Amino acid sequence: MKQDMIGEARRVPQIMCFLKLIAVFAAFGHLHSGAAQKPSTLEDKQFYAKAKKEELLRAFSVEKNCQVAKNVILFVGDGMGLPIITASRIFKGQQAGKPGEETYLNFEKFPHLGLMRTYCVDRQVPDSGCTATALLTGVNGLFMTVGLDAHGKLQDCVRTMRNNQHFPTSIMTHAQRAGKRTGIVTTTRVTHATTAAAFAHTPSRQWESDTHIPEPAAAKCSDISRQLIETEPGRNFNVVLGGGSHNFLPIASGGSRNDSRNLINEWQQNSAQLGRKSRFVTSRNDLLDAARNRSTEFLLGLFHNSHMEFVGDKDAKKSEEPSLGEMTEAAIQILDNKNGFVLLVEGGRIDHALHNNNAKRAILELLAFEEAIDRALKLTKTQETLIIVASDHSHVMSVNGYPKRGNPILGIAGIQPHYKLPYTTLMFANGVGYNYALNSTHVSWRNVTGVKTHDIDFRQQAATFQPEGGETHGGEDVPAYAIGPWAHLVNGVHDLAYIGHVTQFAACLGDYSNTCTGNLLDFSTRSRRLKKC
């Protein structure tokens, strides 16, 4: 190890030269508009020699944690590809009066990082149903389905139920059988694709209520809301927080259900019959009160009839909706116990904003997601809690042009040479931001000169048309960041399903439930594996 460190140290001058070269090219930009911020410190040779040596030393000091994970928290930034991470990092820094490019999001400081491939079993570019199935069960799923493997068929209830022996099992089921508490938190409807994969099996992620299931399938397949209330593991969740109350209520009560059932009342009645210390809340104040009340063991919170409000649209003084950070903190306070817990937290509306070519709303959602991660880090112990921050897929946004260092990330990148029209730093390959006009001989595009591109409602430009909300996902790999027990397994390039196995392995759940004895691996090659660890 010492020789390795010496070898690395000898390569530091070469690394410094390389980083200096990158800095020169990053600072270069002849196409620029807007007031760029300059670094407060001259980023010269001495700056990089000091800063990057410190980074190397931090990397050397990272130790592997091979303890059993008492707790597992999986943070999923829906649609959080590298472009929106980059844009959010820069925006965060610029809001603090810095150039922005040097800024870090808190999870970017996690010691371990890997890249995850995102395809479905049957699609090159995925939806959130198949990818969430991979993350939560360790089995790659089918496009637009939830909790099914390759034996399922989209919107085919009969075939799906006939093959129910092939249903992949969620980590939530494994955790409950091991005596752990479990929960889901989201800014979307709690029956939406990502959180649904934690508890449901359905041939269509759109079947959130019985209203959405066509006949005759409605008589044979349970909708996602029913599965949350009626079957394992959903009915045993200690915490369910998010939006989507209308899927649980009959039409007569302002809901969407045709069967006239009030699933919220049923949840409350079932809890009472089981003697559970439970509570149903619909406002921020009630949520915070329930979290302070240590006797609450089961909590259902529905704060909107559909998805919760975008952060950028909330009136902080008037809104009765809690933030994602507040929901995360409340969940951890209720879940924390001697046997540990498994928690899924989704920043779901990052995805929705990107589907509308609306970068600023997406950035604000991602920064709220970061704040939730910060709360989790403060409330848990790294030694016993595995935290993975992952994405389920990317989007077709890009960070482009040659803007100068510190140029506003929501601003103009430069002027395209042929038409002499400005273009923004953030752009999309497709979406509603497509704004071209066709005459008899030419295609012309929108002139954004003088337009407030930093406005909350501004739609970034798109190269090809998709209808409102129809910007597509991207198919490239997405990052996963990890800290805590067995976090070092999150490295290299894998399928998303790999994360489902890492979480189960780290906590000795599911297929790995017999691989732990105390804090040791109980494989036949246990001693050799421990030496490697």
The set of catalytic residues is 128
Q: What is the CATH number of the domain that holds 282?
A: 3.40.720.10
Confidence of residue 7 (pLDDT cuts 50, 70, 90): very low
pLDDT, tens only, 461-472 = 999 999 999 999
289 and 142, same structural domain?
A: yes
pLDDT recorded at residue 10: 44
In contact, 258 and 295? CB cutoff 8 Å: no
Res 34: pLDDT: 54
Per-residue confidence (pLDDT) for residue 520, from 0 to 100: 47
Query: Is the same domain home to 294 and 390?
Result: yes
Q: Tokens 């996902």 label which residue?
A: 473
Q: Which two tokens stand for residue 136?
A: 């939560």
Claim to verify: residue 328 and residue 408 sit in the same structural domain: no
Q: Which of 465, 491, 512 marks a domain boundary?
A: 465
- Same domain, yes or no: 453 and 491: no
Same domain, yes or no: 410 and 515: no
Per-residue pLDDT for 267 more than 70?
Answer: yes
pLDDT in tens, 68-110: 999 999 999 999 999 999 999 999 999 999 999 999 999 999 9
Which is nearest to 282 in space by CA: 266, 267, 295, 300? 300
pLDDT tens-digit readout, 29-38: 333 445 788 8
Q: Are residues 272 and 352 in the same domain?
A: yes
The verdict on residue 247 lying in a domain is yes
- Count of structural domains within the chain: 2
Assess whether pLDDT exceeds 70 at residue 3: no
Whether 165 and 309 share a structural domain: yes
| Annotated binding-site ranges | 78, 192, 194, 346, 351, 355, 392-393, 473
Instruction: Find the mean pLDDT for residues 33-55.
Output: 82
| The pLDDT value given to residue 162 | 83
The pLDDT, as a whole number, for residue 530 is: 56
pLDDT digits (tens, 9 = 90+) for 141-170: 999 999 999 999 999 988 888 888 889 999
Average pLDDT over residues 345-350: 98
Contact by Cβ (8 Å): 432, 446: no
Average pLDDT value over all residues in the chain: 90
- What are the helix (H) ranges across 306-424? 324-335, 349-355, 359-379
Residue-wise pLDDT tens digits, 452-463: 999 999 999 999
Quickly state the pLDDT bin for 436 (edges 50, 70, 90). confident
**Does the pLDDT value for residue 502 go beyond 90?**
yes
240: nearest Cα among 282, 179, 177, 293: 282
List the domain range (segments joined by +) for residue 190: 71-396+473-521
Q: Mark the binding-site residues for Zn(2+), compressed into ranges.
A: 78, 351, 355, 392-393, 473
Q: Known binding site for Mg(2+): residues?
A: 78, 192, 194, 346
Q: Which of 465, 488, 508 is where one domain is finished? A: 465
pTM of the predicted structure, to 2 decimals = 0.90
pLDDT of residue 84: 98
pLDDT at residue 287 in the model: 97
| Per-residue confidence (pLDDT) for residue 48, from 0 to 100 | 86
Q: Are residues 365 and 440 in the same domain?
A: no
